[in-house]
Amino acid sequence: MMLMICYDITDDARREDVAALLSGYGPRVQLSVFECEVPGADGARELRAALRQRIDPLVDQVRIYPMTQATFSERYLLGARTVEERADYWIVR
């Protein structure tokens, strides 16, 4: 299942935590937007639960848009700019 996930998170630490989580599911296509692939409805539920644990629901917002393979392949990209991941730090857990 393909998902487009975008977020507006006020706290730097929470925002970085969400970005790290989402980077395991797919590419970052804008600063706060990821195209994620999850294994079916169960994978989507697990990802939503993981996101819920990482945000403050009173001040943050995450939007999840499910896409089919057909609609995903019909997306339009205008412009050549790509988001470059920062290479000057490591995430260690």
Q: Which residues are annotated as a binding site?
A: 8
Element (H, E) at 41: helix 40-54
Phi-psi region of 2 (alpha: psi -120 to 50; beta: other; left: phi over 0): beta
As annotated, the binding site for Mg(2+) includes: 8
Residue 27 buriedness (CB in 10 A; 0-12 / 13-18 / 19+) = middle
Residues 86 and 19: their CA atoms lie apart, in Å, by 12
